[in-house]
Structure 1
Amino acid sequence: MPILRSGPTSRGYRLPTTIAAPLDDADTALRRELYFFTLYRLLEAAMLVLVLFGPVADLIGPPRHDLLARVVAVSYFVFAAALFALGRRGELRTQALAGVAVDLVAGILAIHAIPAAGAGIALMLMFNVGAAALLLPARFGLSVSVAAALALVGEHVWSMVVDDSGRLLAEPIMFAIGFLAIATLTSVLGRQMRSSYELAERRGAETAHLVEVNELIIRRLRTGVLLVDGDNRVRLANEAATLLLGDAGDGHRDLGVAIPELARRLAAWRQDGKADESPLQIAPDQPEVVPRFTRLLAGSEQTLIFLDDTSLVSRRAESMTLATLGRFSASLAHEIRNPLAAINYAVQLLEESDDIPTADRRLLEIVRQQGARMNGIVENVLGLARRETAKPEYVELVALARHFVDDYRAGHPLENDSLRSTASKPQIATLIDPRQLHQILTVLVHNALTYGRLPGEPAQVTLNVHVDEHQQPVIDVIDRGPGIPERVAQQLFRPFFTTSGHGTGLGLYIARELCRANQATLDFIPLPGGGSCFRVRMTATAARPEREDERRPVAARSRR
């Protein structure tokens, strides 16, 4: 059975640590029965010695073979004492077989030497046969009973032939049948005991595993958990609670000393059942927590206190708000799309008219530019809302980067700017959706060409394909611009965050979400010598030969 003990933590509180007491196998578990079996054998030997050497010797009459009886009694007592002393050592099967063999030999010889005590000795041997069948596997137990029955019948025949005994044959036959019956019964019981021990061992191991899993879950909960007894002493605390307690928990097991306000709220809850769930500042350098109370068991004085970090609650609320806002934005963008298309079409028609004065054409150009920007925002929001599930394929990244650079140059005149690709190996394979990777690189390269330039100088953007120290494929989009301040870098991937008056703040957010959908990561890496690096780290995989339909450029397939 698993044993729960307390393990120390860094601040003096103790967490439950599961120590599973190892369950021995079935044979080891039966050693207690073996001990009683050897004790019974010693009692048998002592009674045989008492019958021959004690005051009751005259009650059964003189032995048929006095010397044989005395030698058997003394030898059997010595063997019984030795087996009793060794009962806790050695293999169970060997000890049981050796013991029952000694029992049968000594018992049969004693029956032959002392015919008057034969029935009593045979009756005591019945327990020995049954115990052996209980401790040994079924085939061994039944073999012992058969050997005992044959030995008893053989001794009777021997006595009739050699010593002309007048005993009836029915008596040994009845004892032989009893040996077989008791061995069969105890063998079944032994098999059931072994099955029960094995089942208990499996269940114990499963229970210990479940307890360990439960302990790990509680230990790793992001919600702080305290167990407080009726005297307001903290009995248990998980890691989150220990971190939240901070200096308030150092060296204190009394909740009233460590956190007086929490102890006051606990007392009020115990009195009227109403909990004050307003935020509580445990220490100046710790976040606010919201305490919740519940009894460990009905009628128990022990109380579980859950300390919810308000910052985590706020982040969860922010995530829910963002998800709701995303759905609302997608719906709103869909409604805006149609009138926006009509506006853009009307502007195009006005620009073709000869009746528009030159001064007003500048206004039309502003309307067209802002309409195009608004259309870009709508497309980004819709793309984020209806993003397709990733369909990963085996992709050779070096070739993909080269074709991407060629396609981007063809579709976006760079003028004085430069865009190139480099690689550390001739081929680097990964598993990713090529269309979504193309979209990710488009966002990163567009940002690098737009913002990654020094004033008055052309942009220099490089796609570097290589393998990191963990043998994971990586694509770095590097520019030689002024870099990104740290306070801005911390918010780069937040939706709708932008430092440009013409940006939407969705490009990098969508790129990171696409990376996550492909089990990849997107991170910003500041460069010491100036400039910025956006790193896409993908899953490592072995390259495979391309089929005929895969030999055309990867970039071409990604635009299908």
Structure 2
Amino acid sequence: MSFAQEFSQQRAIMRVYSAYRFVLAAMILIALIFGPANSTLGITAPKWFAIAVIGYVLFALLALFIHTLFSQRYSQTQLFFEFFVDIGVIMVMSYCSGSADSGLPLLLIVTISAASIIMPSQLSLAIAALATISTISEVAAHTLSERVSAQRFIVAGMTGTAYFSAAIAIRYLSARIVKAQQLAELRRADIEQLSRINQRIVQRMQTGIVVMSRSGQIKLINAAATELLDIPTPVVNNNHYVPAILIDMAGSAENCAKVISIGSRHLDVHVNMSVLEQSKDSDRLLYIENISKITQRAQNLKLASLGRFTASIAHEIRNPLSAISHAAQLLAESPDLQAADQRFAAIIQNHAMRMNDIIKNILEMSRGRSPEPMRFSLSTWLEKFLDDWQPVSHTPLDIEFDKALENDDVNVDRSQLMQIISNIAENGARHGAQTNDKAVLTFRCLKNPSSGAVSLDIIDNGPGINSEDEDKIFEPFFTTQEQGNGLGLYLCRELCLANQIHIYYRRTELGESCFRLQFSHPDRGTLAE
């Protein structure tokens, strides 16, 4: 037991004992004043009894005041003195009462018990010895003025035996209680340490963990769950609730699991709900897993299969396609070719080149390497990237970069991120130049205050994508351009999946066309295995 705990325990016991002492002294004083005339209290020496009682009341009041208002550490001398005064005053009052029927010496058992709890064994036995000596001495003093029977000495001896028995028994029980308390403190410390370890493990888990009531009130949540559910942090005072769709799941009294779309990013997550107790109103434990990890593994398998497929057909398609393109070029160079035939030859060449680009993009996806993530500052890297980047079409372009963001670390593959941003920026510059005199691209870094995840908005001044086509733009071979092949944004999405980046199209508050890249937390994001 620590010194602080020992002192706190001593102070609590002395406060209770001081209150008992004051109540006892006050009751004896009241009995003396308002008691019957034939009372045994103070019958032998009423004057000295009154002085002893009044002095005891004042001493008890002073001790109660000291133990209640002051918090200094107790010395063994101070405690021994207080118990010594208790023994002396009570035995004086017993002597002044004269009769053996006053019962005052029995009150010392409480004093001896209190001393045995808070004082060492030697001092507590010394208190019991003083009480025994005082009891026998009080009987012996009566023999000087009156005839005392031997029975009085026997009673005094038995009372002394009771004092020692009480001191030994209370001391033994007190030692057992202290040992039990120390053991409980050790167990409590172990449990607290295990709780802290479990808390750290839960917080570092990449699977979201939520413990909630049936009404949806959050009782425990880790960082991964706050990020997936877009719950502001810190979650304190049990004043946060999970989204309504999870509350509906909690309405079931049975374990269940389902895939739902949740949060502002509309993430597809797998939620597994377990009822902690066999009760309808018991708490629910939710395991929330971002299935983009599963999608990512499936994507790797798909790319591997696509790589084997494209490798087998590359020669079968590219060789005749090269022959067709070369023949169309030679045909277009013929001086005897009519204008209409030259137009047909140009069409053949253009579509051959388009087919070659499609095969090139497919081969590029199929040969996609596993990402090599590195942690770096997004704004610092993006600033260097924009200094060097220029659109392939060489369209007139203004670039605006909002980099007012601190601690914007991401953990992705630099080269693949460069490929993603280059493709999106190239499309934005082309569409912006088609509808305006000059294309304007705005790059804006954002940060989610609750999860700490970083986002990048790429905004252009083009007409944007029709609302009915927004769900299709990431599908392969979907395009709204006559010369497009529909694989650019599909390739961007595949690279984003490989780097745990969520990409989607949106409109800004001003209605501008915007692609948002939402990065995973650099400490908790999971990359492809």
Query: What TM-score, normalized by structure 1, do the two folds share?
Result: 0.51
Contact 2:40 2:99 in 1 (8 A): no
* Residue segments in structure 2 that go unaligned for 5+ positions in a row: 1-7, 200-209, 219-224, 226-240, 254-273, 285-289, 333-340, 523-529
Change (3 A) 1:421 1:484: same
Q: Kindly provide the CA deviation profile for residues 341-398 of structure 1, in whole angstroms up to 9, marking residues without a partner as x.
A: 2121443356557997557966476345324314413533664xx6425221346246
Q: Secondary structure at the match of 1:506?
A: helix
Cα RMSD (Å) = 6.7
Q: 1:479 aligns with which of 460, 466, 478?
A: 460
Q: Which residue of 2 aligns with 1:187?
A: 174
Contact 1:150 1:176 in 2 (8 A): no
* Count of residues in Structure 1 that have an aligned counterpart in Structure 2: 426
Q: Which residue of 2 aligns with 1:219?
A: 216
Deviation at 1:338, TM superposition (A): 1.3
CA distance in structure 1 between the partners assigned to 2:327 and 2:470 by the alignment = 47
Q: Does 1:372 align with 2:357?
A: yes
CA distance in structure 2 between the partners assigned to 1:110 and 1:465 by the alignment = 90
CA distance in structure 2 between the partners assigned to 1:242 and 1:476 by the alignment = 30
Contact 2:328 2:348 in 1 (8 A): no
Q: Does 1:446 align with 2:453?
A: no
Q: Which residue of 2 aligns with 1:401?
A: 385
CA distance in structure 1 between the partners assigned to 2:471 and 2:485 by the alignment = 20
Q: Does 1:344 align with 2:344?
A: no
Contact 1:295 1:303 in 2 (8 A): no
Q: Which amino acid aligns with 1:185?
A: Y
Deviation at 1:219, TM superposition (A): 0.7
Contact 1:129 1:179 in 2 (8 A): yes
Change (3 A) 1:303 1:379: same
Change (3 A) 1:153 1:397: same
Change (3 A) 1:375 1:480: same
Q: Which amino acid aligns with 1:330?
A: L
Query: What TM-score, normalized by structure 2, do the two folds share?
Result: 0.54
Contact 1:37 1:128 in 2 (8 A): no
Q: Which residue of 2 aligns with 1:129?
A: 112
Contact 2:371 2:498 in 1 (8 A): no
Q: 1:418 aligns with which of 396, 413, 423?
A: 396
Q: Which amino acid aligns with 2:371?
A: E
Q: Which residue of 2 aligns with 1:556?
A: none
Q: Which residue of 1 aligns with 2:375?
A: 392
Deviation at 1:127, TM superposition (A): 3.0
Q: Kindly provide the CA deviation profile for residues 470-503 of structure 1, in whole angstroms up to 9, marking residues without a partner as x.
A: 8998765443322333444466567876545621
Q: Kindly provide the CA deviation profile for residues 503-536 of structure 1, in whole angstroms up to 9, marking residues without a partner as x.
A: 135144246546745xx877644474x7534355
Q: Which residue of 2 aligns with 1:149?
A: 129
Contact 2:400 2:442 in 1 (8 A): yes
Q: 1:431 aligns with which of 389, 409, 422?
A: 409
Contact 1:390 1:436 in 2 (8 A): no
Q: Secondary structure at the match of 2:434?
A: coil
In the TM superposition, 1:120-269 aligns within 5 A as: 121-131=104-114, 133-134=116-117, 136=118, 138=119, 143=123, 146-147=126-127, 149-150=129-130, 152-153=132-133, 177-178=164-165, 180-188=167-175, 191=178, 214-215=211-212, 219=216, 240=244
Contact 1:107 1:121 in 2 (8 A): yes
* Residue segments in structure 1 that go unaligned for 5+ positions in a row: 1-24, 223-236, 246-261, 270-293, 307-315, 542-560
Contact 1:347 1:364 in 2 (8 A): no
Contact 2:377 2:409 in 1 (8 A): yes
CA distance in structure 1 between the partners assigned to 2:115 and 2:404 by the alignment = 74
CA distance in structure 2 between the partners assigned to 1:465 and 1:182 by the alignment = 78
Q: Which residue of 2 aligns with 1:462?
A: 441
Q: Which residue of 2 aligns with 1:109?
A: 92
